[in-house]
Amino acid sequence: MKLSNRLEMVVSFVNHGESAADVGTDHGHVPVELVRRGIVKRALAMDVRKGPLSKAEENIAAAGMKENIETRLSDGVKKLGAGEADSVIIAGMGGELVIHILEDGRHMWDTVEQWVLSPHSEIHKVREWLWNHGFPIVKEDMVYEEGKFYTVLDVRKCGAASEMGAEAGSEKRFRYSEYLRKTKNPVFIDYLKDEENKLLSLKENLMKQAEHSERAKESLKDVEEKLSMNREVQNEM
């Protein structure tokens, strides 16, 4: 099975262990590859929708892995029991939904060793939630595919949030990954340049509107602040 570059990165993040659960599994490609490659011995393919889960069942059967991979209809991790998964994967959905699933999964916080997250939007909100709830980000990476930037995070639960330098809790820390900055991730550098260009274009449009609109003036101020932060991070790189 040929995985997308994004899913290849997700699979590569999962620790070797007994079991893993893929939340929002869609067609079940990630659990199949985790078992096929010997990363885990067994897996759970979970989805809130019956259609994708039915397709996942077909793909699992075609791969000859019905004994190793169970499908389960579940809203997030509500139907996942403590001790059923060493690693939990939550990928391919918006940041707000990722946070919601983590909040609903409090019954799993003490037993899951690793959370592999890949929000498609609002990742700064996810990073802030993780920091506030004592989930350190062990590793991050980025991949560019089909015109979009995707981020994957390796997260653990280690108790209460702790102060981590002068930047702790800052907007810069959440919007621009400390890990990606320290490792000078090349895809992250491309992302910063792409974001700068989009902000410059937006600034130009807002400058024309700001002469006649207070709302545009406020939006322009926000864009200028983000542009300044972006360039500050680029200079650090």
Whether residue 77 sits in one domain with residue 192: no
Whether residue 123 sits in one domain with residue 86: yes
Domain endpoint, select from 144, 161, 178: 161
Question: What does the pLDDT look like over 200-215, one tens digit per residue?
Answer: 999 999 998 988 899 9
Question: What does the pLDDT look like over 50-97, one tens digit per residue?
Answer: 998 999 999 999 999 999 999 999 999 999 999 999 999 999 999 999
Give this prediction's pTM: 0.92
Whether residue 218 sits in one domain with residue 145: no
**Residue 222, domain extent:** 187-236
Domain endpoint, select from 161, 178, 197: 161
Whether residue 139 sits in one domain with residue 102: yes
Residue of 39, 205, 4 lying closest to 120 (CA atoms): 4
Whole-number Å distance between alpha carbons of 115 and 173: 20
Whether residue 121 sits in one domain with residue 70: yes
Whole-number Å distance between alpha carbons of 67 and 38: 14
- By the 10 Å C-beta count (0-12 exposed, 13-18 middle, 19+ buried), 197 is classed as exposed
169: confidence class by pLDDT, cuts 50, 70, 90: low
Pairing, β 17-23 against β 40-47: parallel
- State the Cα angle at 54 between 50 and 60, rounded to 5°: 140
With H, G, I as helix, E, B as strand and everything else as coil, classify residue 144: strand
Task: Tell me if 177 is assigned to some domain.
Answer: no
Neighbours of 72 (CB within 10 A): 15
Whether residue 19 is predicted with pLDDT greater than 80 in this model: the reply is yes
Q: Structural domain tally of the chain?
A: 2
Question: What does the pLDDT look like over 115-167, one tens digit per residue?
Answer: 999 999 999 999 999 999 999 999 999 999 999 999 999 999 986 554 444 45
Whether residue 196 sits in one domain with residue 133: no
Whether residue 208 sits in one domain with residue 124: no
Task: Tell me if 97 is assigned to some domain.
Answer: yes
Whether residue 141 sits in one domain with residue 70: yes
Whether residue 193 sits in one domain with residue 130: no
Q: In what order do the strands lie in the sheet with 87-93?
A: 69-73, 40-47, 17-23, 87-93, 114-119, 148-155, 137-145
Kindly give the residue spans of alpha helices, DSSP state H, lying in the chain.
5-13, 29-36, 50-62, 95-104, 123-132, 171-175, 178-182, 186-209, 214-236
CB 48 within 8 A of CB 74: yes
Residue of 235, 106, 112 lying closest to 176 (CA atoms): 235
Whether residue 202 sits in one domain with residue 148: no
Give the domain CATH number at 78: 3.40.50.150
Whether residue 223 sits in one domain with residue 116: no
- By the 10 Å C-beta count (0-12 exposed, 13-18 middle, 19+ buried), 118 is classed as buried
The dihedral formed by the CA atoms of 31, 36, 41 and 47, expressed in degrees to the nearest 10? 10
